[in-house]
Structure 1
């Protein structure tokens, strides 16, 4: 009886630990392939579209993007 409970608890702990490390590795690889946009990337994108980016406009766009991600 106690053997079954002990094996179940150990399997649960092992599953949680394994799941954590698999999820961590997946997120690391995802962030390498798709890095979050920062101010420099936004500035380069605006320059490629033919706009002359001002710091005020960059700040507005970054705050709008952060607000959108928060939802």
Structure 2
């Protein structure tokens, strides 16, 4: 009888550990991406300059708003 209880506790602990690990990892990644967005305005300017374009401020803002919409 004690063997089944031990096996049950091990299985429950593994499931709980996996669930909590997933939750905290997901929360950490969302916080990291919010603090350090993958693309900022300077990167957009550099990208457009490499393509041979001189972007206006309006174009940069439009691209940033599109990127923010896409991320959410």
Q: One fold, TM greater than 0.5?
A: yes
- Tell me, which stretches of 5 or more residues in structure 2 are unaligned? none
What is the aligned length? 61
TM-score by length of 1: 0.57
Match of 2:61 among 55, 59, 62: 59
Aligned residue for 1:13?
Answer: 16
Root mean square deviation of aligned Cα: 2.9
Runs (5+) with no aligned partner, structure 1: none
TM-score by length of 2: 0.56
Alpha-carbon spacing, 1:66–1:18, altered in 2? closer, same or farther (3 Å): closer
Deviation for aligned residue 1:52 = 1.3
Deviation at 1:47, TM superposition (A): 1.1
